Amino acid sequence: MPKDGSGLSLDGLGLPLWLVVELTYKCPLKCPWCSNPVDFDQYRNELSTEQWKEVLRAGRRLGSLQLGFTGGEPMLRNDLEELVAEAESLGYYTNLITSGVGLNTERLRALKNAGLKQIQLSIQSNDRQHSEQLVGVDVLEHKIAIARAIKAEGFPMVLNVPISRFNIERTEALIDLAADLGVEYLEFANLQYYNWALVNRAELLPTREQLAKSEAAVNAARARLGKRLTIFFVVPDYYDDRPKACMNGWGSVHLTIAPDGTALPCQEARLIKGMDFPNVRDHDLGWIWHHSPAFNTFRGDSWMSEPCRNCSEKEKDFGGCRCQAFLFTGDASNTDPVCSKSPNRHLIDNLIARAEQRGEAESDSSKPLTMREIKRRVRSEA
């Protein structure tokens, strides 16, 4: 098993196998769980086409293999096809993570010709009005039309459903929709509570019972549909007693480049205040990955304090998520409070208890959701 020099086993030989490029923070949708920074509009200095191409070349030199184009909404970049073609010439396996807004048959064909391998399309509801309530734009019919066009052009496709209290009761209906669309993969991604989702966490967090029902519906559909549709169900880690092995360990296999060229060990890392993340405009990507202080801060296990330091599971979960540790405790080097061994686990339990008290309504109309960019209320359908 490869080692990183400090005793921990690392997947991916310590190479940034998984490169994610956030081409822009701009997006026409207003999702109240958006993973972009809450102050995303302060980052306006997007990399140019040529700068992005150099990032792709440098990533391949470092050993990156899988490349995700995301944002914001990556379709808002007119050079996307050009960047995909560059990635294809470099030998990446490419996927596009999109809301579908800005996609049409012509651009799909251009992306296919450029070499794009897979598309992940997000969908939030099977009902037009409900979808509009959730994302702030009347977009469901377009998404469904685009899903069909993606299949018609022969792309493998993941339908991604960000799951919250507002749509978890629709699990079965969304499975039916995915089966009807003929997608290969359906991912129910329970929200991870960072940035905009964190702002709205009290409203968005489902109850344990809702999760159990949703997972049961997924299991029934798996039995019914077999290989026709592969369904992933990503549980919210708050309901677990061990933390997720976030990013397979900090600086282990994952590298994100933000729109302004900032290099991050995960898409959320900017929220850790006091850390200085390097920028590809100023530094060689190889130096950033191998030698920058930011990427080395939480590598290995020398940064760990108890209970992680002497924990028999530290090579499984690497102490959990650094961003979550920071958000809950103000210190990113603490054990992820999701872990039942953490002295801060009660902070998670308190949140869960509040979610249970709120009951199982699809939404609570007495509380507003803060939409990305603008503040407005999302009301219950009931």
Binding range to ligand FES, per CB under 6 A, among 161-169, 223-231, 261-269, 286-294: 261-269
Rule CB under 6 A: say whether 47 interacts with ligand FES.
no
Which CB atom, from 96 or from 294, has the smaller least distance to ligand FES?
A: 294
Rule CB under 6 A: say whether 304 interacts with ligand FES.
no
Least distance to ligand FES, CB of residue 25, Å: 17
Least distance to ligand FES, CB of residue 247, Å: 5
d(CA 304, CA 371): 36
Binding range to ligand FES, per CB under 6 A, among 50-58, 90-98, 103-111, 315-323: 315-323
Q: Which of residues 121-150 bind ligand FES (CB under 6 A)?
A: none
Per CB under 6 A, the list member of 266, 288, 327, 371 interacting with ligand FES is: 266
Per CB under 6 A, the list member of 198, 321, 338, 369 interacting with ligand FES is: 321
Least distance to ligand FES, CB of residue 376, Å: 27
Per CB under 6 A, the list member of 174, 205, 247, 294 interacting with ligand FES is: 247
Question: If binding means CB under 6 A, how many residues of this protein chain bind ligand FES?
Answer: 8
Per CB under 6 A, the list member of 246, 253, 280, 355 interacting with ligand FES is: 246
Rule CB under 6 A: say whether 323 interacts with ligand FES.
yes
Least distance to ligand FES, CB of residue 199, Å: 16
Which CB atom, from 4 or from 172, has the smaller least distance to ligand FES?
A: 4
Least distance to ligand FES, CB of residue 205, Å: 17
Which CB atom, from 75 or from 266, has the smaller least distance to ligand FES?
A: 266
d(CA 188, CA 47): 32
* Three state DSSP letters for the chain: CCECCCCCECHHHHCCCEEEEECCCCCCCCCCCCCCCCCHHHCCCCCCHHHHHHHHHHHHHHCCCEEEEECCCHHHCCCHHHHHHHHHHHCCEEEEEECCCCCCHHHHHHHHHHCCCEEEEECCCCCHHHHHHHHCCCCHHHHHHHHHHHHHCCCCEEEEEEECCCCHHHHHHHHHHHHHHCCCEEEEEECCCCHHHHHCHHHHCCCHHHHHHHHHHHHHHHHHHHHHCEEEEECCHHHCCCCCCHHHCCCCCEEEECCCCEEECCCCHHHCCCCCCCECCCCCHHHHHHHCHHHHCCCCCCCCCCCCCCCCCHHHHCCCCHHHHHHHHCCCCCCCCCCCCCCCHHHHHHHHHHHHHHCCCCCCCCCCEECCCCEECCCCCC
Least distance to ligand FES, CB of residue 333, Å: 12
Least distance to ligand FES, CB of residue 346, Å: 21
Rule CB under 6 A: say whether 268 interacts with ligand FES.
yes
Least distance to ligand FES, CB of residue 251, Å: 10
d(CA 96, CA 252): 22
Least distance to ligand FES, CB of residue 112, Å: 32
Which CB atom, from 139 or from 321, has the smaller least distance to ligand FES?
A: 321
Rule CB under 6 A: say whether 269 interacts with ligand FES.
yes
Which CB atom, from 84 or from 246, has the smaller least distance to ligand FES?
A: 246
Rule CB under 6 A: say whether 116 interacts with ligand FES.
no
Residue showing tokens 């019972």: 209
Q: Is 344 exposed, middle or buried (0-12, 13-18, 19+ CB in 10 A)?
A: middle
Residues that bind ligand FES (CB under 6 A): 246-247, 266, 268-269, 321-323
